[in-house]
């Protein structure tokens, strides 16, 4: 009888361990998935914004970026496990995801190493959110923001090829207009993130 009880306990512990492992895998649901966004500056021209037209939002603008996929983890050989994932590895994975999203949305190739992570802004957006500010089971922001700057000549050399979810793009030369333009994207978080970026740079970055 005692042996049977021990076996039952062992089986229960194994089930709990499998369940915990399954729940720790990232990304999970679409709502909980990590996202990476890029403020891409095209020198002398402006900020790259994607144009989308959805039934729920109508015509609106977006920062390039999107969900972090399991394939992004696999590319770097990093386990998508909330129990062991560290910030440094998550940033590396998010860079891969951001570069991939830019390619998927525009056909534009950007080296992940050129993406600069904005730690303070990513953390601030996470703490400001009432829900899903952090990846469940971690202290890592669920939205990670990056910046990159490229010459206009380089932008011209790579023709923009739009994804099916976008109908166009703009290079907005006036930074101050951008937050209002992207206010309907990603629950308004991206607009808030851009405002923070403006405050950090003295609200004086306007392309000529």
**Could you report the per-residue pLDDT of 116-125, keeping only the tens digit for each?**
999 999 999 9
**What's the confidence (pLDDT) of residue 131?**
72
Q: Which residue has the higher pLDDT, 6 or 160?
A: 160
> Rounded to an integer, what distance in angstroms lies between the CA atom of residue 95 and that of residue 117?
8
Alpha-helical regions (H) of 52-149: 70-76, 87-106, 119-128
How large is the average pLDDT for residues 22-34? 56
Query: Per-residue pLDDT for 2 more than 80?
Result: no
Quote the CATH superfamily of domain 35-201. Nucleoside Triphosphate Pyrophosphohydrolase (3.90.79.10)
Of 195, 87, 94, 109, the C-alpha closest to 145 is 94
181 vs 32, residue with greater confidence: 181
More confident residue, 178 or 12: 178
Rounded to whole angstroms, the Cα distance separating 197 from 121 reads 7
Distance, in Å, from the CA atom of 101 to the CA atom of 9, rounded to the nearest integer, reads 46
pLDDT of residue 7: 52
Asked if residue 8 has pLDDT above 50, the reply is no
Q: How confident is the model at residue 29 (pLDDT cuts 50, 70, 90)?
A: low
Among 12-26, 54-68, 90-104, 143-157, the least confident range: 12-26
pLDDT by residue (tens digit) across 169-202?
Answer: 999 999 999 999 999 988 899 999 999 999 887 6
Render pLDDT for 83-126 as a digit per residue (tens, 0 to 9). 888 999 999 999 999 999 999 999 989 999 999 999 999 999 99
Tokens representing 11 are 């089986």
The pLDDT-based confidence of 11 (bands split at 50, 70, 90) is very low
Average pLDDT taken over every residue of the chain? 83
Tell me which residue of 63, 186, 41 sits closest to 114, measured CA to CA.
Answer: 41
Token digits for 20?
Answer: 């915990």
The residue-averaged pLDDT of 6-29 equals 45
The whole model's pTM is what?
A: 0.82
Count the Cβ atoms, other than its own, within 10 Å of residue 162.
14
């Amino acid at each position: 009888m005692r042996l049977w009880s021990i076996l039952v306990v062992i089986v229960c512990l194994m089930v709990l361990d499998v369940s915990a492992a399954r729940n720790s895998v990232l990304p999970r649901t679409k709502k909980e998935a990590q996202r990476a966004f890029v403020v891409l500056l095209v020198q002398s021209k402006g900020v790259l914004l994607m144009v989308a037209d959805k039934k729920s939002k109508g015509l609106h603008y977006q920062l390039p970026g999107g969900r972090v996929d399991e394939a992004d983890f696999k590319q770097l050989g990093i386990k998508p496990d909330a129990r062991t994932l560290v910030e440094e590895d998550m940033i590396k994975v998010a860079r891969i995801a951001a570069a991939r999203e830019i390619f998927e949305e525009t056909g534009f190739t950007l080296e992940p190493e050129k993406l600069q992570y904005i730690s303070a802004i990513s953390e601030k957006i996470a703490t400001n959110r009432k829900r899903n500010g952090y990846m469940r089971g971690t202290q890592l922001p669920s939205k990670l923001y990056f910046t990159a700057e490229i010459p206009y000549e380089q932008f011209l050399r790579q023709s923009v090829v739009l994804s099916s979810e976008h109908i166009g793009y703009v290079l907005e030369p006036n930074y101050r207009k951008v937050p209002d333009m992207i206010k309907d994207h990603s629950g308004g978080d991206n607009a808030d993130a851009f405002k923070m970026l403006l405050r950090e740079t003295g609200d004086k970055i306007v392309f000529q």
